[in-house]
Amino acid sequence: MTYAEFLERSHFSRDELLAMAYGRLVSDAPDGFSARLPTPPMMMVDRILEITGDGRRGRIVAEQDVSLDAWFFHCHFLGDPVQPGCLGVDAVWQLIGFYCAWRGALGTGRALGCGEIEFSGQIRPHDAVVRYEVDIKRYQELADSAIAIGDARVLVDGSEIYDLKRAKVGVFRGIDYPDYPWPSANSRGGRIET
């Protein structure tokens, strides 16, 4: 799809999210459009059902199908399989980063933190669907970056199991590392200075 079509879309299929992960969704991406979703198995979303923006606010609703043989059920924990809570939090960060790109932020997304996280349930192998509802409370573009802050609810088969407050993602220009595994200017971590 074209960049203009990407910015106008209100939903995305699994195939489109996979294309985003591999950097192939937008055919005429502008310079600096380096946002990606993680590739499987770390991509924690199967479809975006709704994505909207209004000024500094917005909303994303997405789903993930639970798979009996998901990689994490094999190791977390033997004899007591449960999806790690941190993967649900990461899914929220993935969605907020996608939201930033969809709003026009150029650069590479990074999770910046979360104010509060409460777990009140779990995701097990025989559950069906995880639903992510993210309300963007603030989106702002700066000179070489953008930030989005949102509150989220995570539900499994209709029951709320996680509540996140002030989940933050930033998008920064010039921090991507496309020449992996070769050493280069961005091949080492540390504090992000833009």
Closest to 108 measured CA to CA, from 152, 164, 169: 169
Cα angle, residue 61 at apex, residues 109 and 40 outer, rounded to 5°: 55
List the beta bridge partners of residue 145: 172
Determine the Cα–Cα distance for residues 176 and 90; give it in Å rounded to an integer.
19
H-helix or E-strand spanning residue 50: strand 47-54
Q: For residue 126, indicate whether it is catalytic.
A: no
**Of 11, 74, 76, 126, which is the active-site residue?**
76
Determine the Cα–Cα distance for residues 46 and 16; give it in Å rounded to an integer.
10
Determine the Cα–Cα distance for residues 88 and 161; give it in Å rounded to an integer.
10
CA atoms within 13 A on the CB side of 51: 21
Q: Which amino acid is at 50?
A: E
Active site residues: 76
